[in-house]
Amino acid sequence: MTAGSEFTMRVWRGDASGGAFQDFRMDVGEGMVVLDVIHRIQAEAAHDLAVRWNCKAGKCGSCSAEVNGKPRLMCMTRMDIFEPGETITIAPVKTFPLIKDLVTNVSFNYEKAKEVPAFKPKAKEADGTRRMYQEEVDRVQEFHKCIECFLCQDVCHVIRDHPENKPAFAGPRLFVRYAALEMHPLDTNDRLGLLKQRAGLGYCNITKCCTEVCPEGIHITDNAIIPLKERVVTEFNDPVVWLLRTVTGRKRKTADGAGS
Amino acid sequence: MAAADQFETHEYDVIVIGAGGAGLRAAIEASAQGARTALICKSLLGKAHTVMAEGGIAAALGNVWPEDNWKVHWRDTMRGGKMLNNWRMAQIHAQEAPDRVLELEEWGALFDRTKDGLILQRDFGGHRYARLAHVGDRTGLEMIRTLQQHAVHKGIDVFMECTMQRLLKDGDRISGAFGYWRESGRFVLFKSKAVVLATGGIGKAWRVTTNSWEYTGDGTAMALDAGADLIDMEMVQFHPTGMVWPPSVRGILVTEGVRGDGGTLKNSDGVRFMFNYITPYFAAETADNEQEADAWYADKKNNRRTPDLLPRDEVARAINSEVKAGRGSPHGGVFLDIATRRDPDYIRRRLPSMYHQFRELAGVDITKELMEIGPTCHYVMGGVRVDADTTASTVPGLFAAGEVAGGMHGANRLGGNSLSDLLVFGRRAGLHAAEYANALAAAPRVDDGEVEAAARTMLSPFERAGGENPYAVHGDLQDCMQALVCLIRVEPEMQQALEKIAALNERLQHVTVEGNRQYNPGWHLAMDLHSMLTVAEVTTRSALERKESRGGHTRDDYPDPDPKFGAVNVVTRKRQGQLTICQEPLPAIPDELKPILEEK
Amino acid sequence: MATEAARAGQGRSGPRTERRDLWWVLPLTVVIVFSAFIIYTTWAALQDANYYRQPYLSPYYSPCLATHCVHTTIGIFGSWWALSPAILILAFPGGLRLTCYYYRKSYYRSFWLAPPACGVMDARKGYSGETRFPLVWQAIHRWFFWASLVVIAFLWWDVIEAFQFHDGFGIGLGTVIMFANVILLSLYSLSCHSCRYLVGGYLDRFFKAPVRYHMWRVVSRLNARHATYAWISLFSVALTDLYIRLVASGTLHDVRFF
């Protein structure tokens, strides 16, 4: 793409009562991202165009939208991936109720976060420290990379196409959070029962769209959801574990993975 | 009709404005003290600028260098701040930072580890020892997420996307705050015994900045309007390494961790030019040859620190000089090289988000190519004048913590001292605001007239027909500050800036917004412009007042530090709508601490 | 702010998808390839002939458990078993693949159309995921994993036997194909998510369990390529059977290298 190409930006305008796409012909300079173009529209053509953004560097996860139907961060979508002259559709994320233009009500995610049982560390060691080792924290640090853009929540068909599941399903972002806590080397809380029931881990059919859209490259399905599913299987669905427990009288495993 | 009936009203003991590191920590503490606490933020929870902090949290844990302790940290902070710091704040900060970091771990944070399983610490500019607790190059994210989740579990009331515009007073003391919901545009009134300001900085008044749209100086301007003192507002830090190309990413932060992990600055001749910019002040502790500088990373006992890691003001000025001398990079910066100095695996492991940021936004592979970087507006050291121990401002009931408060960092902030500042003084602000509120017998009264006047002012852009575009006014302010009150300052330019700011203030009176009150960024910007123009004016006036060069404040017409100015704060007040600027003496460093400063 | 209505509320309505790329190519390819595999495998398993030509035994018929097998591995099922011996054994690798996390993703997308592709609306109105019978028993995957290890042990034995020609030690094209196939099948089984969990993924503290940590690391690395192994081994197992079938039926002559 050369500097100064022209594009048609087809931007959703409207609120909960309705709306439509509106076209803006925009000049685009070198290195510009979709969010830059949206800002230009805002400054030049539509001062009240509503859009969320903060860092403009892929670190805060505010500017989530659907660009040509794909959930993306606008600040990390370069204009030079498109053909000059192309019409680019910018729509608000679909899974959450619309507020205005590109801004949606994402409180679903914050409400679900309140239901996660807190981190509960085990006692300190005799010398007063808490020792953890890099090989242990590596796995959980991947989950802590989450910038809460909620693109995974947006693309997840369990709630995107079936909003009636919202009360019973926490969604990929929250599964990553559950995984971070469950696999934390020092945590002692047990959330497996909750995951199976109220958080609705079973609704996930591991079709991996969350992983595909994650701008942080977190392997949501392989590293968070499936290991959690396996842990839930051990707790609730494994006949051999059940039989062994019955025979040996052993209790459920503790959160640090010992036993069983 | 009373304001309370007219507007959505909430009553609390303590409201905390701003939900970055300082605000979250303050709210957690105030709530733990039993105060009814509300946390109010302009963006969604967890999106505050703290999330952008990359390098780490400075705390003398002594995990990597047992020689490290609070005294060394205090010394580094004071020297880095060119002795303009409030010594007591710097002392409290150095003493309490380790506890605050360990507390984060208690709440679930996962820092990178040493071989012994303790928190790993990394080198940063101006710190004598590897001191920064970190998580790769996304420490701020780890910190804000940990605090956010802790606050959520504690059940603190959070008001997201809610912007405060005015502090309210009953006589001379704080009685609440007034603002609007961004989503609906409806007004909201908070009646509160105490207010903690944790609104961050002012960087959005400049064109090239690391700061997000939120950094409009709301807290600074609200405090000034409410009668609080501001100090040293001329002290603005330009981070030496921001991206410069392509234009749309100009200013985005490149972490100092790149240099902490072995990166070096080079000019267009391929020369490591920082060796030519070692000032006498730091000569004794800085390596003067490449061999020693490179050996220092592994052996700090027998080698002096690389000049690439001089404090940020020194490095930013050096880059500026190289560019001016014609030895810059193609797009007006200089080169930052880690590709030839560390292997690709190390770079990707230590600096994953830098790798990602350059690959995605600039098409540069930092494991193979040089980065192009240049100075970018990053942080304001000055701010609301606070009591060191309690963070109380000069207005009873008003507290301030984090970037909005002044004094802690003096004339220049060391990298890593910001995150620890947020934690240490955030906690103290919450604690003392709660104590203040609990000790107050009756809730202060809210003046209905004051609230209604504020509401009228806020709605005025809808009602007039001036036709001025808020985005254009903002753009012109940014260009003005970038051109005239930037890294290198001179009196005639700053006088010119004051004239321009006055003209912009005039244009602000004619700003018109289209559309309705529902989520209207044009209207939001029109309201933020008041704060930005206020802080721009205060910064410029303070910069005129300080006729010397020190830290973040460099005057071409007064190129040297002046001991007379080194002993004073530049204080700004607003009385009857008029700004007054004066010099007041710094708090004196006690004799028993002075010897620490002289230690080599 | 966060009202119940807002939480449960649906977002903007729109078409099934606003994607303009060729999102339907992948699910369509999967349907065609999987269907072809299932049809071929069913036909081959029911044929009950042409599955052995010394020293090659088709993986579809190994281990061969009926006494009437052309090449009986262990004669557990007597002459009363009249059906193809492949049926006795195919349930295990079949079950492994049917409950495999990767194949689940593939067939939920391509056959169930839930969802057909990311950002493309589900074909069905209702959805309960894997919360109810029978899909809740996808959890049985780990037992198919254990069983597959037994089957794979037999396939390795078959490879060793494939070096034993009637005139002594030798290597034919069939030997090479069988060898490659068993490697791919092993990689597929060992890279599965259940294996990753069972060797060490269930631990939270790796420091105290270095052996399990290293096994978990190795399996994790394999697991990243699980989908690739799933595809390649699907082709390799069918082609191995096809080659042996063609040789056994006399259509092809085996190439001897040694």
pLDDT tens figures, C117-160: 999 999 999 999 999 889 988 989 999 999 999 999 999 999 99
Over residues B486-492, the mean pLDDT reads 95
User: Which residues 171-230 of chain C have a CB within 8 Å of chain B?
Assistant: 207
Tell whether B115 lies on the interface with C, counting CB pairs under 8 A. Answer: no
C137 located within any domain:
yes
When pLDDT is cut at 50, 70 and 90, the band that residue A197 belongs to is: confident
Output the pLDDT for position B100: 98
Contact B117 C207 (CB under 8 A): yes
Same domain for B456 and B410, yes or no, is: no
Torsions phi, psi for B343 (to 5 deg): -80, 155
How many structural domains comprise chain B?
3
Contact B246 A118 (CB under 8 A): no
Residues in chain C: 258
Residues of A in contact with C6 (CB under 8 A): 97, 105, 107-108
C1 located within any domain:
no
Last residue of a domain, one of B439, B464, B489: B439
Same domain for B360 and B477, yes or no, is: no
Which residue of chain A has the CA closest to C225? Answer: A222
C168 located within any domain:
yes
Q: Would you say A148 and A61 are in contact if contact means Cβ atoms under 8 Å apart? A: yes
Output the pLDDT for position B599: 77
Same domain for B225 and B242, yes or no, is: no
Distance from CA of C240 to the nearest CA of A (A): 30
- Is residue B88 annotated as a catalytic residue, yes or no? no
Chains within contact range of chain B (3+ C-beta pairs < 8 Å) = A, C
Which residue of chain B has the CA closest to A41? Answer: B471
CA–centroid distance for B320 within its chain: 22
Output the pLDDT for position A237: 81
Task: State which amino acid sits at residue C208.
Answer: K
Contact B52 A59 (CB under 8 A): yes
C206 located within any domain:
yes
Q: Is the pTM of this model over 0.80?
A: yes
Element (DSSP H or E) covering residue C40: helix C25-47
B593 located within any domain:
no
Residues of C in contact with A136 (CB under 8 A): 204-207
Beta bridge partners of B530: none
C3 located within any domain:
no
Output the pLDDT for position C9: 58
Structure tokens at A70: 């794909």
Same domain for B407 and B289, yes or no, is: no
B196 located within any domain:
yes
Instruction: Please report, for residues A1, B169, B393, C129, the alpha-carbon distance to residue B194 in angstroms, rounded to integers and kept in the order given.
Output: 55, 10, 11, 50
Last residue of a domain, one of B420, B439, B458: B439
Q: Regarding predicted confidence, which is higher, B423 or A241?
A: B423
Which of B47, B108, B152 is closest, CB to CB, to A184?
Answer: B108
B146-183 tens-digit pLDDT: 999 999 999 999 999 999 999 999 999 999 999 999 99
Torsions phi, psi for A217 (to 5 deg): 65, 25
Over residues A122-131, the mean pLDDT reads 92
Round to whole Å and give the CA distance between B338 and A244: 55
pLDDT at A257 over 70: no
Active-site residue, from B312, B413, B428, B517:
B312
Residues of B in contact with C207 (CB under 8 A): 117
Which of A62, A121, A133 is closest, CB to CB, to B113?
Answer: A133
Torsions phi, psi for C206 (to 5 deg): -80, -25
Same domain for B506 and B535, yes or no, is: yes
Residues of A in contact with B135 (CB under 8 A): 141, 144
Over residues B91-111, the mean pLDDT reads 97
C17-29 tens-digit pLDDT: 999 999 999 999 9
In percent, the amount of chain B with pLDDT more than 90 equals: 92
Output the pLDDT for position A259: 35
C185 located within any domain:
yes
What's the whole-number average pLDDT of chain B? 95
Helix, strand, coil % (nearest 5) of chain A? 40, 15, 45
Over residues A23-51, the mean pLDDT reads 94
Pairing of strands B121-122, B132-133: antiparallel
Round to whole Å and give the CA distance between C141 and A206: 14
Q: Regarding predicted confidence, which is higher, C181 or A242?
A: C181
In percent, the amount of chain B with pLDDT more than 70 equals: 99
Same domain for B12 and B158, yes or no, is: yes
Which residue of chain B has the CA closest to A63? Answer: B47
Last residue of a domain, one of B419, B439, B459: B439
Q: Would you say A25 and A67 are in contact if contact means Cβ atoms under 8 Å apart? A: no
B458-483 tens-digit pLDDT: 999 999 888 899 999 999 999 999 99
Lowest average pLDDT, out of A118-122, A182-186, B403-407, C77-81, goes to C77-81
Over residues B122-150, the mean pLDDT reads 95
Query: Residue C140 gets which letter from DSSP?
Result: G
Distance from CA of A142 to the nearest CA of C (A): 14
Instruction: Please report, for residues B200, B465, B551, B575, C67, the alpha-carbon distance to residue B569 in angstroms, rounded to integers and kept in the order given.
Output: 20, 42, 13, 19, 98
Contact A108 C7 (CB under 8 A): yes
Domains and CATH numbers, chain A: 5-104 (3.10.20.30), 107-248 (1.10.1060.10)
Same domain for B398 and B469, yes or no, is: no
When pLDDT is cut at 50, 70 and 90, the band that residue B600 belongs to is: low
B594 located within any domain:
no
Query: For residue C16, how many other CB atoms are within 10 A of its CB?
Result: 14
Peptide bond into C55 cis (omega under 30): yes
Output the pLDDT for position A1: 44
Tell whether A80 lies on the interface with C, counting CB pairs under 8 A. Answer: no
Over residues C63-91, the mean pLDDT reads 91
Q: Which domain holds residue B369?
A: 238-377
B396-452 tens-digit pLDDT: 999 999 999 999 999 999 999 999 999 999 999 999 999 999 999 888 999 999 999
Same domain for B105 and B185, yes or no, is: yes
Over residues B235-256, the mean pLDDT reads 92
Output the pLDDT for position A178: 97
Beta bridge partners of B11: B191
- From first CA to last CA, the distance across chain A in angstroms is 59
Whose structure tokens read 């500050």? B481
In percent, the amount of chain C with pLDDT more than 90 equals: 86
Tell whether A234 lies on the interface with C, counting CB pairs under 8 A. Answer: yes
Round to whole Å and give the CA distance between B445 and B171: 9
Output the pLDDT for position A248: 83
Burial pattern B118-142, b for ≥16 Cβ within 10 A else e, equals bbbbbbbbbbbbbbbbbbbbbbbbb
Which residue of chain C has the CA closest to B161? Answer: C1
Over residues C181-202, the mean pLDDT reads 97
Chains within contact range of chain C (3+ C-beta pairs < 8 Å) = A, B
Contact C139 A256 (CB under 8 A): no
Burial pattern A91-111, b for ≥16 Cβ within 10 A else e, equals bbbbbbbbbbbbbbbbbbbbb
Contact A99 B183 (CB under 8 A): yes
When pLDDT is cut at 50, 70 and 90, the band that residue A94 belongs to is: very high
Round to whole Å and give the CA distance between C117 and C87: 34
Same domain for B324 and B427, yes or no, is: no
SS3 A212: helix
Output the pLDDT for position C10: 67
C12 located within any domain:
no
Chains within contact range of chain A (3+ C-beta pairs < 8 Å) = B, C
What's the whole-number average pLDDT of chain C? 93
Same domain for B458 and B503, yes or no, is: yes
The predicted complex's ipTM stands at 0.93
Round to whole Å and give the CA distance between B514 and B467: 10
Q: Which of B244, B250, B360 to mutate to test the interface with A (most CBs of A within 10 A)?
A: B360
Q: Would you say B39 and B157 are in contact if contact means Cβ atoms under 8 Å apart? A: yes
User: Which residues 133-152 of chain A have a CB within 8 Å of chain C?
Assistant: 133, 135-136
Distance from CA of B277 to the nearest CA of A (A): 31
Distance from CA of B553 to the nearest CA of A (A): 26
Residues of C in contact with A156 (CB under 8 A): none
SS3 C134: coil
C173 located within any domain:
yes
pLDDT at A179 over 70: yes
B323-345 tens-digit pLDDT: 999 999 999 999 999 999 999 99
Contact C207 B160 (CB under 8 A): no
Same domain for B226 and B320, yes or no, is: no
B114 located within any domain:
yes
Residues of B in contact with A33 (CB under 8 A): 248, 361
Contact A132 B362 (CB under 8 A): no
SS3 per residue for B363-429: CCCCCCCCEEEEEEEEEECCEECCCCCCCECCCCCEEECHHHECCCCCCCCCCCHHHHHHHHHHHHH
Structure tokens at B508: 């602000």
Structure tokens at A40: 């230009």
How many structural domains comprise chain C?
1
Output the pLDDT for position B467: 87
Residues 6+ apart with CB under 8 A from A257: C202, C203, C204, C205
Output the pLDDT for position C5: 40
Residues 6+ apart with CB under 8 A from B15: B37, B38, B39, B40, B176, B177, B190, B192, B194, B195, B196
CATH code of the domain in which B199 resides: 3.50.50.60
When pLDDT is cut at 50, 70 and 90, the band that residue A92 belongs to is: very high
Same domain for B155 and B184, yes or no, is: yes
Round to whole Å and give the CA distance between B423 and B26: 8
B590 located within any domain:
no
Which of B118, B248, B469 is closest, CB to CB, to A32?
Answer: B248
B194-239 tens-digit pLDDT: 999 999 999 999 999 999 999 999 999 999 999 999 999 999 999 9
pLDDT at B251 over 50: yes
Contact B51 A43 (CB under 8 A): no
Distance from CA of C216 to the nearest CA of B (A): 20
Instruction: Please report, for residues A116, A158, A251, B359, B565, the alpha-carbon distance to residue A255 in angstroms, rounded to integers and kept in the order given.
Output: 15, 28, 12, 39, 59
Round to whole Å and give the CA distance between B61 and B227: 39
Q: Which domain holds residue C154?
A: 25-248
SS3 B160: coil
Over residues B496-509, the mean pLDDT reads 97
